[in-house]
Amino acid sequence: MLKLKRILTSMILMGMVMIASASELELCKIMAAQTYKSEDFASAMRIVKPIAEQGNMEAQNLTAALYRDGQGVPQNYAEAIKWYRRAANQGHAGAQYNFGLMHASGRGVPMNLIIAYKWLNLSAAQSFENATKVRDLARQYMTSADVDKAQKLGSELVAKKE
């Protein structure tokens, strides 16, 4: 098994393999998590980005965080926004939270509290840690009409998925 991990890791790092099966995907997610925890962020990115490109929302969220923080790659807020958007649209609560924070702070996008509130509210609906607190903080700087608009946008997104 260890030899298989080494071979698969080498192939992924060289971009030679597409993740085909669920077991390969799980193995790659485990390896990406291990490299991330060991702070080998460049290797984590090489492992996780192909998984993100295949639509895995957890991998998309991690790819976004690596770009946002400049870990293993040069810091790139535009790339972080792209990957957070993809994961957030799939319903990943952490990505929704981080996407909301990016909009609230104006990192990679123009600051927009309506959009920030929308994503923070969706994350809070999934009980994501701190989402309610941050959403409520954003609300203090918004009009009632802004909050209504943000809630409507969130409801439209949820209805579109159903």
pLDDT of residue 162 exceeding 70, the answer is yes
Write down the pTM of the prediction.
0.80
Q: In what helix (H) or strand (E) does residue 38 lie, and over which residues does it extend?
A: none
Q: CA–CA separation, 8 vs 80, rounded Å?
A: 27
Burial of 88 (0-12, 13-18, 19+ CB in 10 A): buried
Query: Cα separations (Å) of 118 from 11, 99, 108?
Result: 40, 10, 17
Q: Which pLDDT value is given to residue 27?
A: 63
pLDDT at residue 17 above 60? no
Q: What is the DSSP string of 120-135?
A: HHHHHHTT-TTHHHHH
Break the chain into its structural domains and give their ranges: 80-162
